[in-house]
Structure 1
Amino acid sequence: MKSHLLRLLIVLLMPASALAAPLQAVLVGDYRPLKATEAEAVTEGFEAAWLASLGEALGGDIDIVLADAQAQAELRIGEISSGAVYYSSEIAALAAAEAGPAEWTDLAGAPVCIAAGNPHAATVVSRFDGIARAYPSAAQTLIGLKLGECQAVVGDQLLLQQIATLPEWRRYNRLLPVLEESALALRIEADDALLQQRIEQILSSEQGQEMLVEATQYWIDEVAFQAYVLADTLDCH
């Protein structure tokens, strides 16, 4: 009897997050923004870092699961048409400072480096007649530009604006004019309406905005670092 009461007391004193099973989130679509390396596991990237912060704010854990487990996942994140926005960016293009293209129309018939799955590729191809070359990470698109494999890197303004300010990119820091009407938005949606409401409240709060900015900035810096490492490796050969 005493042991039963002791176990009950332990359970009652445990935090609610310890009793709840982790929420499951499935990634929808092929695009992973701010992917730093080709070998980066989805459980170790930007999405996982931000979901960990969101889970902490919700009082539990959030695990990323494979697409074939979508039926069991409580959350969907990525390229979905409804839900709360956790990542958005206009399109941008980065080119060589001196000899690179100066206008979007200069990309007609020219190869451009772009991360695999990035929806901005459709804009480059359909609107400006560019030739999209897909790379497995954002860092590798930048190296493609340095190697002369493309005339410009096309990607998220959120990332490329910061890359252009770095000293190591001073020879490749020309940003083409902003196209504000061409934007992407990645969202998170819960099956449960109450859970969705809680997520939206967190995202709209000061705390939620801060944790999103922190996770985003960390992975922008990680992309920049990995591009630096790759460039340094090239310079050594």
Structure 2
Amino acid sequence: MAALAGALASALLLVAPRGADAHANNRVGGTLRIGVGWLSPPETPDMRLYAEEGFDLDLAAGIARGMGARLELVLVAPDDALLALASGDVDLVVARAGAGDGLRRRARIVETGFESGLSIAMRSDRPLASWADLKGRVVCASEANHHGRDLAQRLGATVKVERAPAVALMHVRTGECDAAIHDQVLLDPLFTKLSWQKFSATLPAVEPTSLVVAVSPGNADLAQAVAGALRDGTSPERWRQRREKWASTVSFEVYRDQVAADCH
């Protein structure tokens, strides 16, 4: 109980009223513990950096920066978000939530403006006709894409888990995977690139979720502070820029990795 009280007190110290003392939180220097569903490894065997599947880690960093706090990322399994909040293990959780998700009913939610259903990338010359056709097929998905991996498994696909989106998409190009599963709103700008026309077959998006920030139900002050920290970075135009940058970066990473593989 003492630990929970201390955690809530720490979180509330980070909240500052807007107005004359709006920047008081920048002087607090506290630690904000943010739960996320996946943490990138400290390094990869070949020391290559990759764009991640979504924007959870970037959003967490932006929240801490906007609140003038030190960021501590805590690994929280998607199904354990409510427990982590209730126990005080984290101050807030950045997660994906569908319309009927229990997180929406039992936590205080701050919307971020990002929403997407799942879709796939596959070869244009032999596309699958429906989601049911994934049964028995090899589907690539990144480590961070919990929702995509779960969907592919439920459809009876053989899921090949890869370190990052670029690796999953590269294996569609090389034929190791029949499809790669990702957010539709991230695949859309990727498919506008000429180099992806042969691999831009897709399926209608399913199972939409939103990227949200969840805090304990009674912590309205912290939710307000989070909303303030996010205000300048979650406009439709800012999300469009992020999606375009993601597509350009991932496209380059696929090219880099495929060229390197072809040279060996």
Classify the TM-score, shorter chain. 0.7 to 0.9
Partner Cα distance (1:42, 1:152) in 2: 19
Q: Percent identity?
A: 21
Partner Cα distance (1:28, 1:40) in 2: 19
* CA deviation string 1:166-213 (max 9, x = no partner): 12222211122x134x1233321234311202434665x575324444
* Count of matched residue pairs: 214
1:120 alignment partner AA = G
1:135 Cα shift?
1.0
Partner Cα distance (1:173, 1:51) in 2: 31
SS of 1:153 mapped into structure 2: strand
Larger deviation, residues 103-112 vs 182-191 = 182-191
1:124 Cα shift?
2.5
Match of 1:160?
A: 187
Against the structure 1 CA distance between its residues 216 and 49, is the aligned structure 2 distance closer, same or farther, given a 3 Å change threshold?
farther
Establish whether residue 77 from structure 1 lines up as the match of residue 94 from structure 2. Answer: yes
1:89 Cα shift?
1.5
Contact 2:93–2:213 (CA<8 Å) still a contact in 1? yes
Question: What TM-score do the two structures reach when normalised by structure 1?
Answer: 0.72
Partner Cα distance (2:159, 2:225) in 1: 39
Match of 1:7?
A: none
Match of 1:196?
A: 223
Match of 1:125?
A: 153
Match of 2:210?
A: 185
1:147 Cα shift?
1.9
Partner Cα distance (1:53, 1:211) in 2: 13
Alignment RMSD (CA, Å): 3.5
* CA deviation string 1:120-154 (max 9, x = no partner): 2222332x322221111111100111221111111
Match of 1:115?
A: 142
Against the structure 1 CA distance between its residues 167 and 236, is the aligned structure 2 distance closer, same or farther, given a 3 Å change threshold?
farther
Partner Cα distance (1:64, 1:47) in 2: 13
Contact 2:34–2:73 (CA<8 Å) still a contact in 1? yes
Larger deviation, residues 184-193 vs 156-165 = 184-193
Against the structure 1 CA distance between its residues 212 and 170, is the aligned structure 2 distance closer, same or farther, given a 3 Å change threshold?
closer
Question: What TM-score do the two structures reach when normalised by structure 2?
Answer: 0.66
Establish whether residue 60 from structure 1 lines up as the match of residue 68 from structure 2. Answer: yes
Against the structure 1 CA distance between its residues 156 and 38, is the aligned structure 2 distance closer, same or farther, given a 3 Å change threshold?
farther
Partner Cα distance (1:20, 1:155) in 2: 39
Contact 1:23–1:74 (CA<8 Å) still a contact in 2? no
Against the structure 1 CA distance between its residues 235 and 85, is the aligned structure 2 distance closer, same or farther, given a 3 Å change threshold?
farther
